Amino acid sequence: MEATHEEFDERRKSLRVDMEAERVLVSWTDSNGEPLTDDGICIDLARRGVLIEYKQAFNVGDLVAITFNPDSDKQNQIRGQVCRCNQCHDKSYHIALQII
């Protein structure tokens, strides 16, 4: 039996914040050990995870840093591990990170 949207919302133990497609800075280390940084879009944020949209795929297990409000006095960074990566369009991926 599938849970309805209302049942799913009621079971959630933490609040999910809709980020309204806020620009974030995405930082990671590639397979050659080179540090990379690029702009991404934060879709939503919860206590234990974050969902971003980015133009390329990440592998499950990759470590990624997300910086909110980059280059401002409100800058804040979280680190996460990729737990899911789904292709949405040709150059658009939804990447779920578990915050560590």
**For residue 11, what pLDDT band results from cuts at 50, 70 and 90?**
low
This prediction has a pTM of 0.78
The distance of Cα 67 from the centroid of its chain, to the nearest Å, equals 10
Radius of gyration of the chain (CA): 14
**For residue 10, what pLDDT band results from cuts at 50, 70 and 90?**
very low
SS3 content of the chain, % helix, strand, coil (to 5): 5, 60, 35
pLDDT in tens, 26-81: 999 998 999 999 999 999 998 899 999 999 999 999 999 999 999 899 999 999 99
Tell me: pLDDT of 16 over 80: no
